[in-house]
Amino acid sequence: MKTAPRWDALVFFGAFAQRWDRRFPSISRSWREHWQRVIPLFAHPPEIRKVIHTTNAIDSINATLRKVTRKRGSFPNPDSVRRVPYLAIRKASEHWAGPIRDWVAALKHFTMAFEGRVPNR
């Protein structure tokens, strides 16, 4: 019999905390404080969780913005403050043209979970 996803998450979280709490105690403390906000995600199947999870995309755009602003001590004028990040985001968006990974499988689950709310193609 398969265990509930929330219990699986607690088991893996316990193992994570045991391994990393000495070096990074604030990570597991933050997860514990916000656990009630985190666990609803585990009620969804893995296909939906993959699509919902956006950390990699956010980290990627943040890294792009850090890269273009890191070496600049100052900007010559107020317009360049807007222009540099804008151009960096436009350049990064060229790589976003691909489809969302596993979208078809997630869409099937969304259609079943939210019957009548997901429009037909």
pLDDT at position 2 over 70: no
Q: What is the pLDDT of residue 46?
A: 83
For residue 67, the 8-state DSSP code is: H
Among the residue ranges 6-10, 66-70, 78-82, the one predicted with the least confidence is: 6-10
Strand, coil or helix: what is 115? Answer: coil
Gap between the Cα atoms of 96 and 94, Å rounded: 6
Where helices occur in the chain by DSSP H, the ranges are: 5-20, 25-33, 35-38, 46-52, 55-70, 78-93, 103-113
**Model pLDDT, residue 6:** 59
Distance, C-alpha 71 to centroid of its chain: 27
Q: What is the pLDDT of residues 13-71, one digit of tens each?
A: 889 999 999 999 999 899 889 988 888 887 888 888 887 776 677 788 889 899 888 87
pLDDT of residue 42: 78
Q: Which amino acid is at 118?
A: V
Are the C-beta atoms of residues 31 and 63 closer than 8 Å to each other? Answer: no
Residues above pLDDT 70, as percent of the chain? 90
Q: Which one-letter DSSP state was computed for residue 119?
A: -
